[in-house]
């Protein structure tokens, strides 16, 4: 059996209603000349998702997991089962657009490219951007480039290097994601893709934004953002991300700005009635600090075996970003976008 060009991995848990438009878009825009391998990873759903996919989309493989392990575990199972030279992670609440695969795979002609970030648009309003790739401010703030901005600002951009790709629809070179170790299950969800972006960079790979590859995303349809435990997890994950991944030189330079930024975040969270989940998340991160420091040795091992020296692309404008963070999350996310 010949190896497929692209494996599309769709993790899902009780998402049958979301899967219908997702899989329909893959069928409608199936690329010519690209051998596609679609894998739906059913994360122990109770709504009959697996049976529905098998009945209505026989072109897709269904991988059933016996227990609900969360997004990272489901995504990793899909990566392990993939046969493609390249792998795309696709949220079940996303739809692909015409030409998405061709444009998404084109940057991989450069051997150092380990991931590609498509232009992700808000499905309910495609004139607005959800993500034009991920960015990371060196003082400890992950964000989405262009979030909330008009799509026209990004639609005709040439391919350009960015920090990383959002796992809602990221393309990965199969060899690269496996070498970097795929997703860390301890994150559960949120910032697991930024952690992977760091490890890919430690391994010597880069990430490219391709505006010609377009995805429609029903932003955060899978999660209830009102839950305190979700804010606690996001707070914990952001801190683990900072201590696990920054190079030593960046870490030393970022420590004081990072502490200042935490204070600003705390004030903003308190104004929204979310100070306690934020603080509990930071205490959770302190409790796992030994693990975060141990992970740094794995990053150094990736760098030692990298074909090219690791290069980190991080924002260095903390004052502007911090002010924007207080004034609103949409402008905050756009603040660390690289021009």
Nearest to 69 by CA among 80, 58, 83: 80
Distances (CA, A) of 52 to 18, 37, 58, 73: 12, 18, 10, 22
Distance of alpha carbon 337 from alpha carbon 339, whole angstroms: 6
- Examine residue 49 and state whether it is found in any structural domain, yes or no: no
Number of CB atoms found within 10 A of residue 156's CB:
8
Alpha-carbon span 142 to 136, nearest angstrom? 4
Helix (H, G, I), strand (E, B) or coil at 257: helix
Q: Does some domain include residue 228?
A: yes
Residue 198: phi, psi to the nearest 5? Answer: -60, -50
Q: What is the pTM of this model?
A: 0.90
Tally of domains in the chain = 1
Residue 30 domain-assigned (yes or no): no
Evaluate whether 174 touches 115 at the Cβ level (below 8 Å).
no
Angle, helices 192-202 vs 289-304, to 10°: value is: 40
Separate counts of helices (H) and strands (E) for the chain = 12, 12
Q: pLDDT per position in the chain (339 positions), as tens?
A: 678 999 999 999 999 999 999 999 999 999 988 999 999 999 999 999 999 999 999 999 999 999 999 999 999 999 999 999 999 999 999 999 999 999 999 999 999 999 999 999 999 999 999 999 999 998 998 999 999 999 999 999 999 999 999 999 999 999 999 999 999 999 988 899 999 999 999 999 999 999 999 999 997 655 555 688 999 999 999 999 999 999 998 899 999 999 999 999 999 999 999 999 999 999 999 999 889 888 999 999 999 988 787 888 776 443 444 444 444 443 444 445 443
Query: C-alpha dihedral over 275, 326, 138, 209, to 10 degrees?
Result: 110
Q: Which domain holds residue 244?
A: 93-339
Q: How many Cα atoms are found within 13 Å in the side-chain-facing hemisphere of 149? A: 19
Whole-angstrom distance, CA of residue 163 vs CA of residue 142:
10
Tokens of 182: 């795929």
| Residue 24 domain-assigned (yes or no) | no
H helix runs in the chain, sequence order: 16-28, 49-56, 71-81, 100-105, 174-180, 192-202, 228-245, 248-271, 275-287, 289-304, 318-327, 329-335
Residue 318 belongs to some domain of the structure: yes
The two tokens of residue 224 are 């209830």
Contact criterion met (CB below 8 Å) for 154 and 211:
yes
């Amino acid at each position: 059996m010949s190896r497929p060009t692209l494996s599309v991995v769709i993790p899902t848990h009780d998402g049958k209603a979301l899967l219908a438009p997702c899989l329909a878009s893959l069928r409608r825009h199936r690329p010519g000349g690209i051998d596609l391998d679609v894998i739906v990873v059913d994360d122990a759903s109770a709504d009959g998702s697996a049976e529905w996919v098998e009945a209505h989309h026989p072109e897709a493989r269904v991988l059933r997991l016996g227990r609900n392990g969360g997004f990272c575990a489901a995504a990793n199972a899909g990566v392990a089962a993939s046969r493609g030279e390249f792998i795309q992670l696709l949220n079940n609440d996303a739809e692909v657009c015409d030409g998405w695969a061709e444009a998404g795979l084109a940057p991989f002609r450069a051997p150092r490219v380990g991931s590609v970030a498509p232009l992700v648009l808000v499905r309910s309003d495609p004139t607005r951007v959800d993500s034009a790739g991920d960015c990371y401010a060196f003082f400890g703030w992950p964000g989405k480039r262009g979030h909330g901005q008009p799509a026209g600002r990004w639609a005709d951009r040439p391919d350009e290097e960015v920090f990383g790709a959002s796992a809602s629809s990221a393309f990965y070179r199969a060899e690269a994601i496996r070498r970097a170790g795929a997703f860390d299950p301890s994150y559960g969800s949120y910032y697991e893709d930024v952690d992977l972006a760091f490890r890919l960079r430690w391994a010597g790979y880069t990430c490219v934004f391709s505006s010609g590859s377009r995805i429609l995303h029903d932003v955060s349809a899978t999660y209830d953002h009102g839950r305190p435990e979700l804010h606690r997890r996001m707070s914990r994950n952001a801190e683990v991300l900072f201590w696990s991944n920054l190079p030593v030189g960046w870490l030393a330079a970022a420590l004081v700005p990072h502490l200042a930024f935490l204070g600003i975040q705390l004030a903003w969270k308190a104004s929204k009635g979310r100070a306690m989940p934020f603080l509990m998340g930071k205490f959770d991160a302190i409790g796992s600090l030994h693990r975060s420091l141990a992970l740094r040795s794995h990053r150094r091992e990736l760098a030692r075996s990298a074909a090219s020296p690791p290069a980190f692309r991080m924002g260095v404008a903390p004052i502007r970003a911090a002010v924007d963070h207080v004034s609103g999350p949409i402008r905050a996310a756009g603040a660390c976008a690289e021009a």
